[in-house]
């Protein structure tokens, strides 16, 4: 049976930015566009963000095709649902071990902050 792997072809302001998709059997592929205004430092900060990436669930490996910040008014992003062949993702990929390490670091920061707030360390 033909395996149905769907990806996305992305164009930004008329420039073709590639064909993102996984050849693996199990995967999560997302194109995420964000616009936000946050205030973590006492001052409002507005930002926009576009990322194309996901996870090869069979290998437990993250993949990323594109990340772009600073979209501005009038920018145009188009995507099309496609089948393979897909472009290779960026060479930088996090292994399962690297993801576990990042998770441990995150847990460490959180626990340390909690205990410091409690005055326990």
Partner 1 sequence: MENNLGFEIHHNGKHICRAGVEDKLFVVSCIANSVSRKLGDKPTDLSMQIGGLISESFENIVWSDFDLKLGDTIDVEVIDDKFSPYTVTDVWLPPEPEALTKEEIAHKRIELQKLKEELAEHLDEDGELRI
**Is residue 53 involved in binding partner 1 (CB under 8 A)?**
no
Q: Mask of contacts with partner 1, 68-97, x by CB under 8 A? A: ---xxxxxxxxxxxxx--------------
Region for residue 70 given its phi and psi (left: phi exceeds 0; alpha: psi -120 to 50; beta: otherwise): left
What is the nearest approach in angstroms of partner 1 to the Cβ of residue 38?
6
Q: φ and ψ at 47, to 5 degrees?
A: -155, 160
Please choose, from the candidates 49, 47, 51, the residue with its C-alpha nearest in 3D space to the C-alpha of residue 10: 51
Q: Which stretch binds partner 1 (CB under 8 A): 59-67, 90-98, 101-109?
A: 101-109
The dihedrals phi and psi of 21, each to the nearest 5 degrees, come to: 175, 160
Positions in the binding site for partner 1 (CB under 8 A): 4-8, 21-22, 25-39, 44, 46, 48, 57, 71-83, 101, 104-105, 107-109, 111-112, 114-115, 118, 120-121
């Amino acid at each position: 049976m033909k395996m149905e792997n769907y990806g996305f072809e992305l164009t930004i302001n008329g420039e073709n930015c590639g064909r993102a998709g996984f050849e693996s059997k199990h995967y999560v592929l997302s194109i995420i566009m964000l616009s936000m205004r946050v205030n973590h430092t006492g001052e409002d900060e507005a930002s926009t963000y576009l990322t194309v990436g996901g996870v090869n669930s069979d290998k437990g490996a993250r993949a990323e095709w594109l990340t772009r910040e600073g979209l501005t008014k009038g920018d145009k992003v188009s995507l099309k649902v496609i089948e393979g062949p897909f472009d290779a993702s960026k060479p930088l990929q996090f292994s399962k071990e690297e993801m576990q390490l990042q998770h441990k670091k995150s847990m460490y920061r959180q626990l340390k902050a909690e205990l410091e707030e409690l005055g326990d360390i």
